[in-house]
Amino acid sequence: MSSARTLEAIQYTRGNLRILNQLALPHETIFEPVLNVQDGHAAIKTMKTRGAPAIAIVAALSLAVDAHARLEKNEFKSVDEAKDFLLSSLEYLKTSRPTAVNLFDTAGKFATLINKLVQNGAQEPKDLVMPIVEAAEQMLVDDVQDNKNIGKHGAEYIVNHVRDKSNISVLTHCNTGSLATAGWGTALGIVRDLHRNDQLKHAFCTETRPYNQGSRLTAYELVYESIPSTLICDSMASALLRLNPSVQAIIVGADRVAANGDTANKIGTYQLAITAKHHGILFIVAAPSTSIDLSMQSGKEIVIEERPANELVTTTGVLLDNNQSTTVRTAAQGINVWNPSFDVTPCELISAIVTEKGVAVKQPGQTEFDLKAFLS
Ligand SMILES: CSC[C@H]1O[C@H](OP(=O)(O)O)[C@H](O)[C@@H]1O
């Protein structure tokens, strides 16, 4: 199913935003309009749009289309009214999901820009709105370039640090590709680079219960790109590493990386790091520097989102005979549910953190990363 067309989760032209409803993948490709910040918040909260970078981009673009439409209709009667709308909308968008830092990083940068424009004497609402529209649009461009750089740095690091560079298979978790970003992807971007460089023997991906980002999204991307790949259950990871010596690296994304390298990522990441350590293979975190939160020294401070119980007791994307996908209940009625969407992998289990700026590694004898120094 290889195609020259790249997969995209976000379709945008100025004043128009549509998002791919990822709850319907892989069976149905449904793009839905996002007209305002309420639509953007809902798309993120319901996980129609997901993935740390994509969450920030869709939030920013939902603000851009909302503010642009209001500007076109002359709804802002003053600079102050435009400022109040923009700042309150950013605070509202931040309430959609708590763990991925990219959204909060973007909201902070946009608020700083707005306040700076006001201090510099913005005269009309457009003097605030249009720089925000342009900043949101620039995120689409920057994210793809960041991911291309992550792919390049990550592929080089893996090839130079595995035991047998002629026999490289990798395992990845969740979805970190074009469906989680503006394009190419982070961890899956490294897989794309290894494949494009003819350095990849095979890519394994986990189902990633309960939302099934792996079976529904990553498998979809790997098949789409004709990358030799195999889907496994989350519970099969250790057996795979024990039985298949070609798997020499586990590559995952990140939602929030603390200054010492502790990493919040999709639930199940921590146990993959443990089994990577046990089997003596690389455990690589791939993320843009906007996923690094230097305000948090360690992962102890990271808020872990808990998702609704119904997302665990049901399975989304079940295909019916009429080719419609649906959600079915699989767990017994009445059972209690714990459904954290993320876990935190301690820095001592992480081999390297690959960013668009390069690869962060620990100093010899150190168990922590010094990401403040790495990014300075
Ligand atoms: C490049 S995506 C990073 C990160 O986001 C995903 O979480 P979710 O699907 O819940 O938004 C997953 O943790 C990925 O590793």
Which among 156, 171, 181, 141 has a CA at the least distance from the CA of 58? Answer: 181
**Helix 52-72 crosses helix 101-119 at what angle (to 10 degrees)?**
40
Q: How far is the C-alpha of 44 from the C-alpha of 40, rounded, in Å?
A: 6
- Report CA(180)–ligand 1 centroid distance (Å): 7
Backbone angles phi, psi at 218, to 5 degrees: -65, -45
The 3-state DSSP class for residue 197 equals: coil
Q: Which residue has the tokens 């394009």?
A: 183
> In a structure prediction context, what are the per-residue pLDDT tens digits for the chain, which is 376 residues long?
344 445 899 999 999 999 999 999 998 999 999 999 999 999 999 999 999 999 999 999 999 999 999 999 999 999 999 999 999 999 999 999 999 999 999 999 999 999 999 999 999 999 999 999 999 999 999 999 999 999 999 999 999 999 999 999 999 999 999 999 999 999 999 999 999 999 999 999 999 999 999 999 999 999 999 999 999 999 999 999 999 999 999 999 999 999 999 999 999 999 999 999 999 999 999 999 999 999 999 999 999 999 999 999 988 777 888 888 788 899 999 999 999 999 999 999 999 999 999 999 999 999 999 999 999 9
Q: What is the pTM of this model?
A: 0.96
Residue owning the nearest CA to atom 8 of ligand 1: 51
- In this structure, are strands 202-206 and 256-258 parallel, antiparallel, or unpaired? unpaired
- Return the DSSP state at 340: B
Note the ipTM here: 0.98
Give, for ligand 1, the residue of 266, 267, 284, 293 to mutate: max count of ligand atoms closer than 8 Å to Cβ. Answer: 266
- Report CA(290)–ligand 1 centroid distance (Å): 14
- Report CA(330)–ligand 1 centroid distance (Å): 24
- Residues near 158 by Cβ (< 8 Å), separated by ≥ 6? 168, 170, 190, 194, 248, 249, 251, 282, 284
- Residues near 87 by Cβ (< 8 Å), separated by ≥ 6? 111, 114
Give, for ligand 1, the residue of 10, 46, 50, 96 to mutate: max count of ligand atoms closer than 8 Å to Cβ. Answer: 50
Q: Which neighbouring-strand residues pair with 232?
A: 206
